[in-house]
């Protein structure tokens, strides 16, 4: 009997989860489709191409909204079993509030683990394909920075000239083996700059061990400098942000390829931050389901779904505000970045423990 009841609870819980998931996915498709259509409106692409790109982009967005989806689906299902007296029937059959609480919360925790191990690698590959495909069309518009096996390539459109910059690899906030080609409006080479290293922390780049070949009367005059400065529209942070898209990294990438990613130029702090942001997902799902249980299981009285959904929505907003505030404190150096990621989980755990004691007495 216990096995039958457990299967009944879990099957119906996942039904509600899938319904909410599909609704959010549908909204995501509609909202992102407008952006894709606007992007491709002047290009000769198939009508279905923006739809295809949208369909592979939205799953990564769903992954970020998963705690909210689990919370809403838990609220809806728990309100249903309370209003139709299933919750009372469960108690008659020996299922206490505590037992029901752990069935749903542990299920959500395991769901989070499965998402990290199975679905995160899939969505990361999908978003990589999305960015690679879209960048091929964006090059003709504004895609001015690229990174491939040949190194870093930057194209700058300045007022009176164009500049193409290449470097074999980044080392921290420096570029190694830099070559800069300065072209006039007719794409004729005006100047070629060679540098062993370049400090790009600021928009004012500092080049070291520099050799300059400057065009003059169809000849190139060679000049050498120990230090030379140029102004750029890019700096280290701006370039770094273009490629450090957390959605392109899966949990397994961060676990097994951490050092490889660091050697590729990814910022170590960025990798640690996103590794911990992924690690908290199962705990976050556990706590969101716990909060939904505490809000709905404190009474057996029948009530309106809308009232609880409004309370739930306000709760979600407060939780996400707490999470963002804590992360902002970490990024500004007020507290450790790792502590800022785990602080909301710790705070919600205390709230859940107190609420659990209350519903256990019901």
Candidate from 167-171, 228-232, 318-322 with smallest mean pLDDT: 167-171
Q: What angle do CA 103, 105, 106 make, to 5 degrees?
A: 70
Asked whether residue 112 is assigned to any structural domain, the reply reads yes
Tokens standing for residue 309: 């959904």
Q: How many domains does the chain have?
A: 2
Q: Are residues 65 and 194 in the same domain?
A: no
Domain final residue pick, 209, 232, 255: 232
Domain final residue pick, 232, 267, 284: 232
Tokens standing for residue 325: 């505030």
| Model confidence at 17: pLDDT above 80 | yes
Could you tell me the pTM of the whole model? 0.74
**Residue tagged 């009285």 (tokens):** 301
CA end-to-end distance (rounded Å), the chain? 23
> Which residues, 6 or more positions from 249, have their beta carbon under 8 angstroms from its beta carbon?
124, 261, 271, 274
Q: Are residues 213 and 248 in the same domain?
A: no
The whole-number average pLDDT for the span 165-179 is 81
Closest CA to 164 of 152, 178, 182: 182
Asked whether residue 317 is assigned to any structural domain, the reply reads yes
Q: Are residues 193 and 251 in the same domain?
A: no
| Model confidence at 1: pLDDT above 60 | no
Give per-residue burial for 222-241: e unless 16+ CB within 10 Å, then b.
eeeeeebebebebebeebbe
Q: Are residues 92 and 176 in the same domain?
A: no
Asked whether residue 150 is assigned to any structural domain, the reply reads no
Q: Which residues pair with 151 in a beta bridge?
A: 148
Domain final residue pick, 176, 207, 232: 232
> Which residues, 6 or more positions from 336, have their beta carbon under 8 angstroms from its beta carbon?
330
Report whether 161 contacts 230 (CB < 8 A). Answer: no
Q: Give the distance, in angstroms, between the CA of residue 210 and the centroid of all CA atoms in the same chain.
A: 39
Domain that residue 227 falls in: 159-232
What CATH number should be reported for the domain holding residue 169? 2.60.450.10
| Model confidence at 140: pLDDT above 50 | no
The pLDDT, as a whole number, for residue 142 is: 44
Q: Which of 130-139, 149-158, 183-192 has the highest mean pLDDT?
A: 183-192
Q: Are residues 111 and 166 in the same domain?
A: no
Q: Are residues 9 and 124 in the same domain?
A: yes
Q: Are residues 75 and 164 in the same domain?
A: no
For the chain, list the strands marked E by DSSP: 145-148, 151-157, 162-171, 174-183, 189-199, 204-216, 219-231
Asked whether residue 146 is assigned to any structural domain, the reply reads no
């Amino acid at each position: 009997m216990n096995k039958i009841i457990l299967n009944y609870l879990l099957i119906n819980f996942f039904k509600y989860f899938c319904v909410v998931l599909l609704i959010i996915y549908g909204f995501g498709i509609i909202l992102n489709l407008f952006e894709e259509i606007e992007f491709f409106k002047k290009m000769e692409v198939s009508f279905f191409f923006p739809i295809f790109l949208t369909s592979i982009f939205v799953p990564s967005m769903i992954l970020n909204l998963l705690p909210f989806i689990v919370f809403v689906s838990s609220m809806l299902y728990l309100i249903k079993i309370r209003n139709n007296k299933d919750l009372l029937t469960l108690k008659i059959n020996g299922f206490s509030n505590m037992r029901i609480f752990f069935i749903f919360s542990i299920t959500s925790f395991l769901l989070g683990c499965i998402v990290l191990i199975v679905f995160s690698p899939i969505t990361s590959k999908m978003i990589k394909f999305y960015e690679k495909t879209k960048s091929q069309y964006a090059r003709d518009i504004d895609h001015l920075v690229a990174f491939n096996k040949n190194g870093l390539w930057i194209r700058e459109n300045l007022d009176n000239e164009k500049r193409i910059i290449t470097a074999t690899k980044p080392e921290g906030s420096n570029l190694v083996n830099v070559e800069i080609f300065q072209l006039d409006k007719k794409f004729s080479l005006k100047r070629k700059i060679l540098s062993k290293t370049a400090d790009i922390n600021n928009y004012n780049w500092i080049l070291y061990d520099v050799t300059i070949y400057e065009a003059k009367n169809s000849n190139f005059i060679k000049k050498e400098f120990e230090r030379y400065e140029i102004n750029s529209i890019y700096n280290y942070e701006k370039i770094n942000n273009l490629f450090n898209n957390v959605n392109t990294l899966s949990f397994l990438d961060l676990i097994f390829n951490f050092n490889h990613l660091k050697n590729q130029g990814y910022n170590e702090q960025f990798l640690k931050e996103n590794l911990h942001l992924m690690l908290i997902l199962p705990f976050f799902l556990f706590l969101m389901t716990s909060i939904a249980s505490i809000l709905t299981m404190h009474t057996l009285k029948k009530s309106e779904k809308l009232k609880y959904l409004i309370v739930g929505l306000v709760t979600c907003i407060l939780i996400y505000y707490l999470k963002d505030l804590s992360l902002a404190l970490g990024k500004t150096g007020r507290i450790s970045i790792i502590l800022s990621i785990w602080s909301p989980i710790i705070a919600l755990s205390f709230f859940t423990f107190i609420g659990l004691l209350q519903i256990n007495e019901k």
